[in-house]
A = this chain, B = another copy of it.
Amino acid sequence: MSDDPTTEPRDAAIEQLERFGLSAYAARTFVALASLGSGTAKDVSEVSEVPRTRVYDAIDELHERGIVDVQQSSPKRFWAISAETASRTFEHELRNRTAILRTALNELEPVERQEEQGGVWTVGGQAAITTRVVEFFESAEEEIVYMTVEDLLTEDLLDGLSEAAARDVSIRLGGISEDVQDRVEDAVPEAETFDSLWVWSDTPAGRLMMVDGRKTLVSALVNGEDASPTDPRSETAIWGEGATNSLVVVLKAIFTWRLDAAEPN
């Protein structure tokens, strides 16, 4: 917070570049060059605090990646491509590599993945949990029941719900505050919301999902002494699938009881 504000984007850029596979020296060299536009090894060394004699290696690395050009003079001058071009370059490369990964994994995956009837699996982190929920939504054929707190009702989820609704899946939402009601109404008008006959109003909250009476998921925001409540990582969930799955059986019982009581058809 009280740090020098100019170092903030600097360090962010360096971190990302390193995670994209550049060495520490190469990352810092490129960041230095990017802010200089162009410069000599000495220039770079001064602003990046990379030992001057190592700048040349770093430049080699960057040159081979195609994001730095070299002027053959004495002293050599180095030129960094623009921020926009650099970003595009990395984006291209990563798009290629994710494509390779995708096809490789698909060829690898067994054609039919039989589901674990007995298992109850744990997932950690809000992002990962949301991914599971969305995946379950995509597999829904008849009915989705979903209870959540507003914090956890992200755009991804609404998209998944509206897609399911388009496939004639009946959707029942609970635990929604009045504030969010409108957003839901917009995105998924077909959704039928049931009152937040909810008991955990004072608990850390979480979510609760059932799809086609075959797949269920429960999550809670665990507030350990170290984890802040807003930390997206502090959500933990368990899920299971299969008609005989214990978690499924329990939740199915609760849901049918509650829902049928709330509105008997």
Contacts and interface: CB of A to CB of B under 8 A. Distances in A.
Interface in A123-139: 123-125, 127-128, 131-132, 135
A122 B72 contact: yes
Given A13-B101, A16-B100, A79 B37 contact: no
A83 interface: yes
A248 to B, nearest CB: 15
Given A34-B105, A103-B9, A113-B82, A119 B66 contact: no
A194 interface: no
A254 interface: no
Interface residues of A, number: 68
B104 A13 contact: yes
A9 B106 CA distance: 9
A113 B37 contact: yes
Quickly give the copy total for this chain: 2
A261 interface: no
B37 A77 contact: no
A109 B83 contact: yes
B121 A70 contact: yes
Interface string A128-156: 10011001000000000000000000000
Interface string A1-42: 000000001101100110111000000000100111110000
Interface stretch (A50-58, A87-95, A162-170): A87-95
Contacts of A65: 128
A101 B21 contact: no
A201 to B, nearest CB: 28
Given A19-B21, A70-B122, A85-B135, 19 more contacts: A9-B107, A10-B108, A12-B101, A16-B100, A17-B101, A35-B108, A66-B125, A66-B131, A69-B121, A70-B121, A71-B121, A72-B120, A72-B122, A77-B119, A79-B116, A79-B119, A83-B105, A87-B105, A88-B131
22 contacts: A10-B108, A12-B104, A16-B97, A19-B21, A20-B97, A31-B108, A63-B124, A66-B127, A66-B128, A66-B131, A69-B121, A70-B121, A70-B122, A77-B116, A79-B116, A83-B102, A83-B105, A83-B108, A84-B102, A85-B135, A87-B101, A87-B102
